[in-house]
Homo-oligomer: A and B are copies of this chain.
Amino acid sequence: MEEQEGTLPQKSDFSGWYNDILWRAEIMDVRYPVKGLYVWYPFGFSIRKRVYGILRELLDRDHEEALFPLLIPETEFMKEAEHIKGFEEEVYWVTHGGTTPLDVKLALRPTSETAIYPMYALWVRSHADLPIKIYQIVNSFRYETKHTRPLIRLREITSFKEAHTVHATWDEAENQVEDAIARYQEFYDRLNIPILISKRPDWDKFPGADYTIAVDTIMPDGRTLQIGTVHHLGDHFSKTYHVCYEDSKGEQQYCHQTCYGISERSIAALISMHGDDRGLILPPEVAPVQIVIVPVIMKKRETEINQAAELLAKELQDAGYRVKIDTRDMRPGAKYYYWEMKGVPLRLEIGPRDIDNGIVMAVLRTGGKESLPRSSIIPEVERKLKEQTDALLNRAENHIKDHLFMVNDASALPEKVLNGVAAIHWCKNRECADRIEEIADASVLGTDVRTSLIDLCTGNCIICGKPGSLVTLVGRSY
């Protein structure tokens, strides 16, 4: 990429910063010759691997991973009327095998309900087969006609984690919804990304769901990014695909289902929430390189310094850290710039004077230089990385607080949603919502908000003044 000059735009120019950091930090190459399709560089893929490793770890507690086909025959796809209405303009169709037209067109899954549930109909027989909790991590496809954006709005979603569960009753499915929300909360806690959980208004729920709970975060420019959804499907799909069980009285009952998904938007949020004007900042848990060691060479002690660096690296690796030594023939400053761009949490510098003094210089990516005693480097490094994690979370929470405004006066909405998300009171009446969206030039994102980042008091509807409304979020979303 040496031909692309210049520096990273400031993060305050978020759009420019985001586009630039993707290639400067080697996350994604946007030059693939089809709109909306991107290439994961090895470095980006390695972040992805760790992020999805956390997701797997959380789900594997009581879910099983499986894999269903990408191609869905039109006949199955078209069965659930509401669902297909939600997706029909977005589906890619395979129509030919070689030069032969196919008898039945095949859809590239936009999501896998219609691929999985015909199988569930075969798998579920009796109450004893329930619950089923299965997930898969797959590519899925949307023919997006809007402006596409790497990791955020794609035509090939490369990394869709979708879970699909089956239960005997509506209430058990509701419990699963709560369980999934808790799991997603845990996931984003691990990434130090504060989230806003809310119930999407009825007109914005998943096609075919009873209701949708969404996980949003607020991006640096104040717009929200949906980074997870959990759907209670009731028995809509089980009626269409005949997912039934025999109850204890020997009677056939329709199952109740849920599904919930997270895509590579989780990584868009990770990059955007934590990065700064100098590049990425990665939480240690998902950083491909957690510690970079830069030997500060003085010619006549070169061998000694390199050996000390290698010994240090070995000790840290043995303690389980992912470490690189940068011995390239470059100015130290250029090395610092390189590893800061890649978001490496901790840099350790080791030079002749450090060796003499029995210390190592530590520079945290979130800021601050400190000399650490070489003899207790393992606990010291652990402490420093913890310091970074805390700093990231603290910063991220402040960012959300700074962009989440309690608004009691409708006329203040336009200005507030330009800078972030408005928390208002709304009576859940559609007409009032339309009016809110019109005034704010933004969307009603959700009700029944769960967050500790704002006071969840009740109040009067911002439009009609009806009392007792819960907090509702209004904002511009990606």
Contact = CB atoms under 8 A, between A and B. Distances in A.
Given A39-B67, A94-B108, A98-B88, A118 B73 contact: no
A86 to B, nearest CB: 12
A125 B3 CA distance: 10
Contacts of A70: 139, 156
A76 interface: yes
Interface string A7-28: 0000000000000000000000
A65 interface: yes
Contacts of A93: 94-97
A48 B99 CA distance: 33
A39 B106 CA distance: 16
A48 B137 CA distance: 14
Task: Give how many copies assemble into the complex.
Answer: 2
A34 B102 CA distance: 11
A319 interface: no
Interface string A74-89: 0110000000000011
Choose among A76, A93, A134 the residue with the greatest number of B CB atoms under 10 Å from its CB: A93
A134 B104 CA distance: 36
Choose among A3, A40, A71, A145 the residue with the greatest number of B CB atoms under 10 Å from its CB: A71
Interface residues of A, number: 57
A49 interface: yes
A128 to B, nearest CB: 10
A203 interface: no
B125 A2 contact: yes
Interface string A145-158: 10000000001101
B143 A97 contact: yes
Interface in A131-147: 134, 138-139, 143, 145
Contacts of A99: 88-89
Given A32-B69, A71-B156, 6 more contacts: A31-B122, A33-B75, A67-B158, A92-B97, A94-B108, A97-B145
18 contacts: A29-B122, A32-B68, A32-B119, A34-B73, A37-B69, A39-B69, A48-B67, A69-B156, A69-B158, A70-B139, A70-B156, A88-B98, A88-B99, A92-B106, A93-B96, A94-B95, A98-B143, A139-B139
